[in-house]
């Protein structure tokens, strides 16, 4: 792979805190190596801003290996930028070329208020999990792990749904700011396993209820969530969720 | 002075005896007892959830925006357990033995045996929570092998075992939050422990969104704040991973155990330039199938696929025929460094070796061909089948490698190099996981206890969950049973006021330096000193120089630091400034500890102490102890020794040949 250096213009959303209005600001970065990650390019910019006596740009990030789900930049109109099945931290600068102008915004959704610059509050996701995204088993009650064989295809499908990293890109990509892909991934993960069976109905009803309370929008099946998901969570999980929801609603005594 | 409180009796009966005799707290009293948990990784989330289930009032804190993001999530390969599902001779004793041997005989027998005992319960618990472990076609749990071990005891979920285990613990935690048993404080950082009458009674925390300081009372405080690998600047740790909570506790009286014991992981993606902000691990599980080699010729500039087999040096297979590519991490790392230092390194930096899957792809392809009854299929077809099998096993790791390097590891061998990954050292704890401060506990990577001088792969997840799910719920009762008479202390107490004042003054001091140099620059400088002089190989002269350089760096830091922004707002630079200030102090202690321990053991390699073949040489007569350092004021520490008694295992020089 040939390496090259580039100069870039960045148009970045700046917002002091949740109470103030934000605006775009232009920045220029020079001599960016194609081997850098996108966040390392931001590190370079922030070091420059600090040296110039300006405030660096706040952004969420932690593991920088695509698994913690903290990073959350809306790059050139796409959550996590141009690469398929990717997080912002794993986006590398060879995706860009010299002279490009890159627009960077925070996740936009009513349920994800901006805290500062590119940092948003995603605690709504935690509250959706609190509403039922678990199996009620206290520590110490478990039987031998192999006493309950699970069909491999089902276990694999459950794992594929459980890969969700809770980053919120699905919400940011959705024109309705719906959290259905996130929610459906958790419902599928647990509904596909026999351990999830006892609470299957109450789980889906309570989680959907909480999602609505948080102010996420409805799903209109445009599929932007699936297209942008860094872990390729399938939109078929939403179909599964609807099926679960329907069954639960019909049999619910509430 | 150090009392490790190891129960009397036979090794295999100690934990059972302990559980049978430790004090209990009745349910009505549990409701009145408050416990603070710092960190929500595997140790913290499992402890907070389990204590909540038991009925304690728990407050859990994490600096991330959600407890689900703690760095346990990045663990890839797996979790060990002595289940013997493979019928390959595994047992509690073997897991215990492998862990003590892997740790180069610098861990406590009783702790490690307990860890091996509860390992099987962890798997059962996680399965019950719905953790989607990999399964065989018959529906049973699948295992794979890991370094330093000759049985298959590692459970896994593709290359994302840590994520799945953490999500399991996180869900259990959120369930307790919903039930009102745990109160969760995300985007909060602990900045001091409050001690009243010799007992840990609470913390000072900073709300990282608005910068406000908060006082929180607890009858006990649990530090589950992870390791301190970021002292090296470049490591596989998350950007936010830090030593601050543990360091504040250390300065309030908790001894620091074996600070110099650092694990350098052999298979990471090499540094690509000065801009590098962190390093990415390639799971050890890759060594199951990948073969590690360098060219036999120095400074060979040919492309890897142009170098014929007979001109390749598969140096691990050559040096360690019994374990081959699956030698423990410390051995594999040093062997890579040895080859690169001798001029056989590859890639542009020459600081890398190859991890090659070509043989595995062909081998798996032939197995598939046999299954299909097409043994004489053309080689291209066999390779295609083989790639599919490798993709199934390691696909996500290969994808990650390609994203970072731009190279396709199915076609060209991966380039890898060792990187700082884990810290075996940590706060000294006794058998009950209590530090030298009454009521202050340390769990998971934050403590020093189970891995000795080197941790085996897939054992960190095991230890974090063992401590949180199965150890602390018993041992904390032994302490809290006597606390039922003590009402919560008001956070107006002078000890809280004093601690808050100190925290405030330090933050103001950081903000008021108004120098020219960013936190990041200081962190990089510290990392360079640590990596060069307290990294994979250490010697007396280098360590002495490092101590002087770190003290100098500390002066510069407090004279020339620039922190932009304000105190009472979201200010990541300020958060980081406090963490780097603590790393600088820790770095000095690590060098002091490394200087004191003039033997080589596990991940700690002193160049003065090696065999003629270049293998690490322990000195059991002089160093069979845990060094526990007591803070005595700036740049001053007293060392206390905990002698290690081996009653069951007879320490020998490790041999993986």
What is the per-residue pLDDT across A79-96, written as a single tens digit (0 to 9) for each? 999 999 999 999 999 999
Restricting to A residues 14-43, those with a Cβ less than 8 Å away from any Cβ of B are: 16-17, 33, 35-37, 39-40, 43
pLDDT at B150: 86
- Nearest residue on chain B to A32, judged by CA atoms? B275
Residues of chain B with Cβ-Cβ distance to A83 below 8 Å are 403
Residues of chain B with Cβ-Cβ distance to A166 below 8 Å are 66, 68-69
Query: A168 near A125, Cβ under 8 Å?
Result: yes
Among A96, A116, A136, where does a domain finish?
Answer: A116
User: Going by C-beta distance under 8 Å and a sequence separation of 6 or more, which residues neighbour residue B592?
Assistant: B547, B629, B637
Chain B: give the shortest CA distance to residue A72, in Å: 12
**Contact assignment for B473 to A139 by CB distance below 8 Å:** yes
How far is the CA of B249 from the CAs of B193, B441, B511, in angstroms? Answer: 6, 10, 23
A239: contact with B, CB 8 A cutoff: no
Alpha carbons B375 and B367: distance in angstroms, whole number: 9
pLDDT at B285: 83
Q: Are residues B296 and B412 in the same domain?
A: yes
A94: contact with B, CB 8 A cutoff: yes
Residues A17-76 pLDDT 10s: 999 999 999 999 999 999 999 999 999 999 999 999 999 999 999 999 999 999 999 999
Q: Are residues A85 and A128 in the same domain?
A: no
Residues of chain A with Cβ-Cβ distance to B240 below 8 Å are 62
Residues of chain A with Cβ-Cβ distance to B419 below 8 Å are none
Chain B: give the shortest CA distance to residue A51, in Å: 7
Helix/strand/coil for B117: helix
Residues of chain B with Cβ-Cβ distance to A36 below 8 Å are 273, 275
Alpha carbons A180 and A182: distance in angstroms, whole number: 5
Chain B: give the shortest CA distance to residue A31, in Å: 11
* Nearest-by-Cβ selection for A70 from B65, B124, B520: B65
Mean pLDDT score across all residues of chain A: 97
Going by C-alpha positions, the residue among B481, B444, B428, B463 that lies closest to residue B21 is B481
User: Using the 8-state DSSP alphabet, how is residue A194 labeled?
Assistant: G
Chain B: give the shortest CA distance to residue A100, in Å: 20
Helix (H) or strand (E) holding A104: strand A101-105
Q: Are residues B398 and B514 in the same domain?
A: no
Helix/strand/coil for B524: helix
Looking at chain A, the number of H-run helices and the number of E-run strands are 8, 7
Return the exposure string of B471-481: e unless at least 16 CB atoms fall within 10 Å of the residue's CB, then b. bbbebbbbbbe
- Nearest residue on chain A to B158, judged by CA atoms? A159
Rounded mean pLDDT, B389-395: 88
Tell the residue number behind the tokens 């602390």, with chain if given: B472
How far is the CA of A154 from the CAs of A149, A245, B132, B136, in angstroms? Answer: 11, 20, 10, 12
Q: Name the residue with higher pLDDT: A173 or B616.
A: A173
Going by C-alpha positions, the residue among B214, B219, B189, B263 that lies closest to residue B38 is B189
Chain B contact probe: residue of A8, A41, A65 with most B CBs at under 10 A? A65
**Contact assignment for A142 to B124 by CB distance below 8 Å:** yes
Alpha helices in chain A (DSSP H): 38-51, 123-130, 152-162, 169-173, 180-191, 200-213, 224-228, 236-251
Phi-psi bin for B297: left (phi > 0), alpha (psi -120 to 50), beta? Answer: beta
A232: contact with B, CB 8 A cutoff: no
Alpha carbons A113 and A126: distance in angstroms, whole number: 15
Q: Find the CATH number of the domain harbouring A79.
A: 3.10.20.30
Query: B74 near B431, Cβ under 8 Å?
Result: no
Alpha carbons B244 and B228: distance in angstroms, whole number: 9
Rounded mean pLDDT, B87-109: 96
- Nearest residue on chain B to A133, judged by CA atoms? B171
Above pLDDT 70, what percent of chain B?
100
Extract the tokens encoding B83.
Answer: 């289940």
Chain B: give the shortest CA distance to residue A15, in Å: 11
A130: contact with B, CB 8 A cutoff: yes
* Nearest-by-Cβ selection for B132 from A121, A126, A162: A162
pLDDT at B296: 97
pLDDT at B638: 98
3-state SS string for B220-264? EEEECCCCCHHHHCCCCCCCCCCCHHHHHHHHCCCCEECCCCEEE
Q: Find the CATH number of the domain harbouring B569.
A: 1.20.58.100
Distance linking the first and last C-alpha atoms of chain A:
61
Going by C-alpha positions, the residue among B4, B46, B116, B110 that lies closest to residue B428 is B4
User: Using the 8-state DSSP alphabet, how is residue B135 labeled?
Assistant: B
Q: Are residues B403 and B303 in the same domain?
A: yes
Mean pLDDT score across all residues of chain B: 96
Helix (H) or strand (E) holding B291: strand B291-295
User: Going by C-beta distance under 8 Å and a sequence separation of 6 or more, which residues neighbour residue B612?
Assistant: none
Q: Are residues A137 and A108 in the same domain?
A: no
Residues A94-140 pLDDT 10s: 999 999 999 999 999 999 999 999 999 999 999 999 999 999 999 99
* Nearest-by-Cβ selection for B406 from A1, A43, A58: A1
**Complex ipTM more than 0.95, yes or no:** yes
Extract the tokens encoding A132.
Answer: 């039922």
**Contact assignment for B128 to A141 by CB distance below 8 Å:** yes
Return the exposure string of B229-266: e unless at least 16 CB atoms fall within 10 Å of the residue's CB, then b. bbbbbbbbbbbbbbbbbbbbbbbbbbbbbbbbbbbbbb
* Nearest-by-Cβ selection for B64 from A43, A62, A116: A62
Q: Are residues A91 and A176 in the same domain?
A: no
A209: contact with B, CB 8 A cutoff: no
Chain B: give the shortest CA distance to residue A199, in Å: 12
pLDDT at A254: 64
Among B403, B420, B437, where does a domain finish?
Answer: B420
* Inside any domain, residue B30: no
**Contact assignment for A137 to B278 by CB distance below 8 Å:** no
Alpha carbons B491 and A236: distance in angstroms, whole number: 51
**Contact assignment for B66 to A56 by CB distance below 8 Å:** no
Report residue A192's pLDDT band, with 50, 70 and 90 as the boundaries.
very high
Q: Are residues A133 and A225 in the same domain?
A: yes
Alpha carbons B468 and B42: distance in angstroms, whole number: 7
* Inside any domain, residue B368: yes
**Domain boundaries, position A104:** 5-116
Q: Are residues A147 and A225 in the same domain?
A: yes
Residue A14: what are its φ and ψ, rounded to 5°?
A: -115, 130
Among A116, A141, A175, where does a domain finish?
Answer: A116
Alpha carbons B639 and B644: distance in angstroms, whole number: 15
Q: Find the CATH number of the domain harbouring A188.
A: 1.10.1060.10
Residues B596-654 pLDDT 10s: 999 999 999 999 999 998 889 999 999 999 999 999 999 999 999 999 999 999 998 88
- Which residues, in sequence order, are bridge partners of residue A13? A24
A67: contact with B, CB 8 A cutoff: yes
- Which residues, in sequence order, are bridge partners of residue A10? A27, A102
Residues of chain A with Cβ-Cβ distance to B67 below 8 Å are 126
Q: Are residues A151 and A92 in the same domain?
A: no
Q: Are residues A136 and A203 in the same domain?
A: yes
Tell the residue number behind the tokens 């407090």, with chain if given: B558
- Counting the structural domains of chain A, the total is 2
Query: B533 near B591, Cβ under 8 Å?
Result: yes
Rounded mean pLDDT, A199-206: 97
Extract the tokens encoding A241.
Answer: 């969720």
- For residue A1, pLDDT over 80 is answered with no
**Contact assignment for A126 to B174 by CB distance below 8 Å:** yes
Q: Find the CATH number of the domain harbouring B397.
A: 3.90.700.10
* Inside any domain, residue B166: no
**Domain boundaries, position B359:** 265-420
């Amino acid at each position: 792979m040939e390496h090259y250096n580039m100069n870039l213009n960045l148009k970045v959303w700046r917002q002091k805190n949740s109470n103030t209005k934000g605006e775009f600001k232009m920045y220029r970065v020079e001599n960016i190596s194609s081997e850098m990650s996108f966040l390392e390019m931001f590190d370079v910019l922030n070091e420059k801003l600090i040296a110039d006596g300006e405030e660096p740009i706040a952004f969420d990030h932690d593991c920088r290996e695509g698994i913690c789900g903290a990073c959350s930049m809306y790059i050139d109109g796409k959550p996590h930028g141009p690469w398929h099945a990717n997080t912002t931290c794993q986006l590398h600068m060879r995706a860009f070329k010299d002279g490009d102008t890159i627009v960077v915004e925070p996740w936009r959704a009513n349920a994800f208020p901006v805290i500062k610059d590119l940092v948003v509050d995603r605690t709504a996701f935690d509250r959706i999990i609190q509403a039922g995204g678990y199996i009620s088993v206290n520590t110490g009650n478990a039987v031998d792990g192999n006493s309950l064989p699970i069909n491999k295809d089902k276990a694999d499908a459950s794992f594929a749904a459980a890969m969700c990293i809770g980053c919120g890109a699905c919400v940011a990509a959705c024109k309705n700011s719906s959290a259905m892909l996130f929610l459906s991934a958790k419902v599928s993960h647990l509904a596909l396993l026999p351990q999830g069976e006892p609470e299957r109905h109450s789980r889906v009803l309570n989680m959907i209820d909480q999602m609505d309370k948080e102010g996420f929008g409805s799903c209109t099946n445009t599929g932007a969530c699936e297209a942008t998901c860094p872990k390729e969570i399938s939109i078929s999980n939403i179909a599964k969720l609807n099926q679960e929801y329907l069954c639960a609603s019909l049999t619910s005594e509430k | 002075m150090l009392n490790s409180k190891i129960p009397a009796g036979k090794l295999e009966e100690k934990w059972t005896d302990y559980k049978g005799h430790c004090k209990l707290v009745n349910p009505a009293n549990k409701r009145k007892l408050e416990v603070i948990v710092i960190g929500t990784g595997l140790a913290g989330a499992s402890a907070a959830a389990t204590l909540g289930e038991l009925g304690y009032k728990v407050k859990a804190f994490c600096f991330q925006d959600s407890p689900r993001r703690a760095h346990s999530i990045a663990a890839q390969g797996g979790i060990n357990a002595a289940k013997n599902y493979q019928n390959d001779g595994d047992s509690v004793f073997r897991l215990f033995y492998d862990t003590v041997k892997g740790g180069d005989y610098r861990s406590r027998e009783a702790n490690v045996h307990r860890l091996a005992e509860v390992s099987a319960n962890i798997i059962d618990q996680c399965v019950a929570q719905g953790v989607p472990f990999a399964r065989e076609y018959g529906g049973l749990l699948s295992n794979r092998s890991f370094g330093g071990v000759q049985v298959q005891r590692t459970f896994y979920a593709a290359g994302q075992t840590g994520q799945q285990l953490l999500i399991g613990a996180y869900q259990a935690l959120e369930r307790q939050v919903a039930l009102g048993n745990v109160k969760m404080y995300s985007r909060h950082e602990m900045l001091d422990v409050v001690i009243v009458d010799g007992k840990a009674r609470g913390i000072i925390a900073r709300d990282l969104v608005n910068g406000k300081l908060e006082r929180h009372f607890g009858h006990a405080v649990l530090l589950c704040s992870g390791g301190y690998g970021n002292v090296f600047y470049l490591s596989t740790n998350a950007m936010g991973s830090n030593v601050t909570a543990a360091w504040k506790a250390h300065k309030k009286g908790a001894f620091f155990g074996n600070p110099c014991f650092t694990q350098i992981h052999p298979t990471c993606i090499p540094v690509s330039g000065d801009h590098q902000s962190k390093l990415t691990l390639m799971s050890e599980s890759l060594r199951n199938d990948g073969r590690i080699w360098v060219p036999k010729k120095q400074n060979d500039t040919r492309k890897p696929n142009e170098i014929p087999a007979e001109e390749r040096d598969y140096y691990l297979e050559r040096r360690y025929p019994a374990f081959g590519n699956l030698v423990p991490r410390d051995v594999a790392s040093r062997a890579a460094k040895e080859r690169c230092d001798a001029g056989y390194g590859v890639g542009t930096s020459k600081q890398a070796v190859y991890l090659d899957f070509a043989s595995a792809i062909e081998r798996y392809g032939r197995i598939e061909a046999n299954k299909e009854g097409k043994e004489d299929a053309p080689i291209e077809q066999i390779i295609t089948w083989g790639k599919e099998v490798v993709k199934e096993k390691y696909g996500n790791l290969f994808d990650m490698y390609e994203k970072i390097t731009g190279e396709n590891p199915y076609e060209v061998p991966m380039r890898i190099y060792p990187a700082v990954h884990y810290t075996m050292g940590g706060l000294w704890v006794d058998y009950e996981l209590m530090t030298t401060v009454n009521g202050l506990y340390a769990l998971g990577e934050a403590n020093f206890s189970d891995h000795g001088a080197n941790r085996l792969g897939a054992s960190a997840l095991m230890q974090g969950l063992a401590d949180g799910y199965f150890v602390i719920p018993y041992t904390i009762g032994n302490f809290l049973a006597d606390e039922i008479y003590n009402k919560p202390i008001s956070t107006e107490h002078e000890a809280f006021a004093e601690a808050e004042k100190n925290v405030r003054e330090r933050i103001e001091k950081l903000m008021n330096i108004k120098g020219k140099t960013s936190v990041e620059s200081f962190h990089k400088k510290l990392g360079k000193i640590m990596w060069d002089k307290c990294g994979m190989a250490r010697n007396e002269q280098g360590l002495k120089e490092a101590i002087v350089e770190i003290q100098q760096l500390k002066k510069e830091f407090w004279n020339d630091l620039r922190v932009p922004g304000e105190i009472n707002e979201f200010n990541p630079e300020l958060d980081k400034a406090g963490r780097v200030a603590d790393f600088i102090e820790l770095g000095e202690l690590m060098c002091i500890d490394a200087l004191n321990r003039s033997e080589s053991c596990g991940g700690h390699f002193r160049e003065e102490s090696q065999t003629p073949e270049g293998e690490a040489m322990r000195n059991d007569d002089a160093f069979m102890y845990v060094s526990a350092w007591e803070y005595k004021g700036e740049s001053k520490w007293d060392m206390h020794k905990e002698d290690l008694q081996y009653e069951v295992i007879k320490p020998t020089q490790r041999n993986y040949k």
